[in-house]
Amino acid sequence: MDSGRALRPPLEMSSTVIFGLRVESNRPIPWVRASTLTTPIDLHVSLGEIPDFLGAMWDDAEHLYSSANCNDGGQPTLVVCKLDRGAWFHLRCADGTEFLIDRLGKHLWATWPEPLTVEDTATYLLGPMIGFVLLLRGTPALHASAINVGGQAIALVGPGGAGKSTTAAGFARMGYSVLSDDAVTLAGEPGELMVHPGYPCIRLWPESADALFGARDALPLLTPNWDKRYLDLAGDNHRFQTDSLPLAAIYFLGARSEDVGAPRIEVVAPRAGMIELIANMYVPYLKDNAAHAREFNALRHVIAKVPLRRAIPGADLGRVSDLCKVILDDFRALPQPRAATDPSEHIECV
């Protein structure tokens, strides 16, 4: 542990709801809209500090996971240890950012070295760390984006770089509200899996900002230390879906194709779909038997009830709207009930 880290003093308490979790933090979380909560808090977040008692638990630390990907210095991008016989999880990123999460997913601490900022830490917090908390609390989540079409959720599934955020931003530009950019919850009872809203922000690589908005500088930097950009869904020109919606269809994003028939949609068989869903679940490396059972039950219901498709984009990133239209045409043709509300009509969003 680095004993020379300076702890950031709390600035102001802030509360919000993220992916169905009622969260209270000791300072505002970037890109998250604060709200007043009158119900019990699910997750307490402390940004800029790690508790003193962490140092006493290192003698019996148990290594759980090191990522295969490494930084330029050869360090794994993520190392996870279990402390105090599993009462706590310590997660350290290659850039020195650290997280401590309790076994029940009720408390999370985070600290980071200079020159990193709270925005850099929030990129982890609102992605893999909140996915880890959801797992601990019994809610499986897909690595996916989700949009609202007619009062139902369409999930856009794929690994990093598949184009989930770019496609979601394409839908946002067409006037559709977005539920989530990075994680899609599979919450609720087996009769209906619900997608909870994430936060009103879509993260985009510079080339996606160029293609969608004409120039990367048209969107603000995600952090001062990274060239990634973000689309603000809480502004006047785009919409963020604030209510949870039932999952109605899944579209796996395939590799970009030079084929003249792209973009196009293909049907995905249940067995192949199950394999892809498992490959795109959040935190696949840290599941116990109970978590595996919950995940399997949720995915079994997905396979049985939710249409699975593969969306093959064209080679031109600037024509993402063509892919969005092909997905919409396919979704509207699916033989399943539709909510009466048209996407162009009012659905509660900000």
Regarding whether 317 and 196 lie in a shared domain, the answer is yes
Would 2 be classed as within a structural domain?
A: no
Q: Does 40 reside within a domain?
A: yes
- Count: domains in the chain: 2
**Residue that finishes a domain, picked among 87, 104, 136:** 136
Contact 136, 119 (CB under 8 A): no
* Same-domain status, 165 and 61: no
Least Cα distance to 329 among 263, 270, 239, 276 occurs for 263
In a domain, residue 3? The reply is no
DSSP code per residue over 30-76: TTPPP----S--SEEEEETB--GGGGGGGGG-EEEEE-S-B-TTS-B
Q: Is 130 helix (H, G, I), strand (E, B) or coil?
A: helix
Residues 113 and 130 in one domain: yes
Residues facing 111 on adjacent strands: 98
User: 80 with 202, same domain?
Assistant: no
67 occurs within a structural domain: yes
- pLDDT mean values, one per 10 residues, the chain (350 residues): 42 85 95 88 95 85 91 91 92 96 96 96 94 90 95 92 92 95 83 89 95 94 94 86 95 91 94 94 77 85 93 90 96 70 35
Letter for the amino acid at 160? G
Asked whether residue 22 falls in the same domain as residue 163, the answer is no
Last residue of a domain, one of 100, 118, 136: 136
Name the β-bridge partners of 253. 311
**Are 162 and 273 found together in one domain?**
yes
Whether 1 is covered by a domain: the verdict is no
| 206 and 61 in a common domain | no
Quote the domain boundaries for residue 91: 14-136
Same domain, yes or no: 169 and 237? yes
Alpha carbons within 13 angstroms on the beta-carbon side of residue 187 total 18
Q: Please indicate, yes or no, whether residues 222 and 293 belong to a single structural domain of this protein.
A: yes
What six digits make up the tokens of 275?
């394999």
* CA pseudo-torsion sign 339, 342, 348, 349: positive
> Nearest-CA neighbor of 99 among 71, 80, 123, 75?
80
Is residue 162 a part of any domain in this protein? yes
pTM of the model: 0.88
Same domain, 126 and 228: no
What's the Rg (C-alpha) of the chain? 20
**CA dist list (Å): 268 to 62, 183, 249, 297, 308:** 40, 21, 12, 19, 5
Same domain? 212 vs 324: yes
What pLDDT does residue 290 have?
A: 78
**96: exposed, middle or buried (C-beta count within 10 Å: 0-12, 13-18, 19+)?**
middle
What CATH number is associated with residue 179?
3.40.50
Give domain status of residue 345, yes or no.
Answer: no
Give the count of alpha carbons within 13 A of 107, CB side only: 11
Q: Residue 22 falls within a domain, yes or no?
A: yes
Same domain, 156 and 70: no
DSSP characters for 152-208? EEEEEE-STTSSHHHHHHHHHHTT--EEESSEEE-BS-TT--EEPP--SEEEE-HHH
One-letter identity of residue 304: A
